[in-house]
Structure 1
């Protein structure tokens, strides 16, 4: 069996998973609509629904990446970096809670304790990581993750700027428009990253099966 044959996804499975992902996105936006409609005092805040959904997606993505790493060892440095990125983002989403109930700036320390050792390992094995990244970039999971990363950490930040919405709305500007724009686009970015980790898990499972069949 060719080495990269397990990277491919059969058309029927691609369609089924695509339909499932569309249902997931639709369900998330229905929750956002419920928050906007029925929670006027809490919408798009830490006590609303959108931000906890973001944390849930990040937690799920982190768990998926951890399982994928255990299933197959072909992308050890890349999966480690993904775990660090998703884990750091999850910690960052708890900043208000950590600042209030632990101490101010706690999330920065926790992120540093998680990310710095991972970056050290990845940089130390830079050539291996580059080769893994090249392979991952050619997969469905890699494309989804890149889209989610850009959507979350670039588009969401720029699209949710207060200056932009003040220019668009003028005298009708209300902060909730800015918050909605930023939080919902961020939610979609996290959704893509979570889906990417589901696809990575499925890919690792196919690689594992391929390896076991090769031994048989």
Structure 2
């Protein structure tokens, strides 16, 4: 069984995910209202996001090699981080220390460097291995549901991963926070790598937030 997947993102008026200052407080307040079991994010987005957690990457400590003790009533979500190339080697402790997640589970493929797999094992990170050259997202989500009981996963990522999720028909809903700003030609389109045409949506919620932001919720219509 595949968990319900919601894409959540803050965009400019012209559909860019970069080139403007998103309201992080509103972004994560709305995201947390979904009460997801896990958030899925691509490795590039995760690497960029380390700047929000610390100005400088701190050295690892002994505690970073141990799984955190998780209480049954902990409301935080896990992070599913797709990283088949191992670009987060040396950075994973930043996410493990975050107050916003229970712990990180890494999605890897058969082509993931062995050194990175060993890095994860030595630090007791759970990882899900699927796919040959890159992560098989559908299979990874199925395993996440079977192994961890995840029923709702929210994508808080960039255009590449979001496009893959849509391309494979895994997305049920799209949540967008519209920011009153136009980026122009230097913008980065939310679904810039999507090859599939004609994805039809149905608006089922619209709300003005703090007088200037608009939260839109769409249902992805099945073909």
Return the TM-score normalized by structure 1: 0.26
Higher-RCO chain (CA-CA 8 Å, sequence separation at least 6): 2
Instruction: Give 1 or 2: higher strand fraction.
Output: 2
Name the TM-score, length of structure 2 as normaliser. Answer: 0.26
Choose 1 or 2 for highest CA Rg.
1
